[in-house]
Amino acid sequence: MMPVILITGAATGFGAESALRLAALGHEVIAAVQVPAQVYALEQEAKRRGLDLRIETLDVTSESERRKAASWNVEVLLNNAGISEGGSVVDIPEENLRHQYEVNVIGPTLLTQIVVRDMVKRGRGLVVFMSSVAGLTTDPFAGAYSSSKHAVEAIAEALRQEMQEFGIEVATINPGPFLTGFNDRMFETWKSWRDDPSKRLFDYENIAFPHEQYDQEPVIETTIGVLTGKIRTYRNVEPKKIVDEQRQMMDAVWDRKIEDGVGKRNQLVQKAYDISPGVPV
For the segment 79-137, what is each residue's pLDDT rounded down to a tens digit?
A: 999 999 999 999 999 999 999 999 999 999 999 999 999 999 999 999 999 999 999 99
Instruction: Check: pTM over 0.95? Answer yes or no.
Output: yes
Is there a catalytic annotation at residue 145?
A: yes
Residue among 40, 101, 145, 273 flagged as catalytic: 145
Amino acid code (one letter) for 170: V
Instruction: Tell me the C-alpha distance between 186 and 193, whole Å.
Output: 12
* pLDDT score at 152: 98
* pLDDT score at 1: 75
Query: How much is the mean pLDDT over the chain?
Result: 98
Strands of the chain (E only): list them. 4-7, 28-33, 54-57, 76-79, 125-130, 168-175, 235-238
CA end-to-end distance (rounded Å), the chain: 41
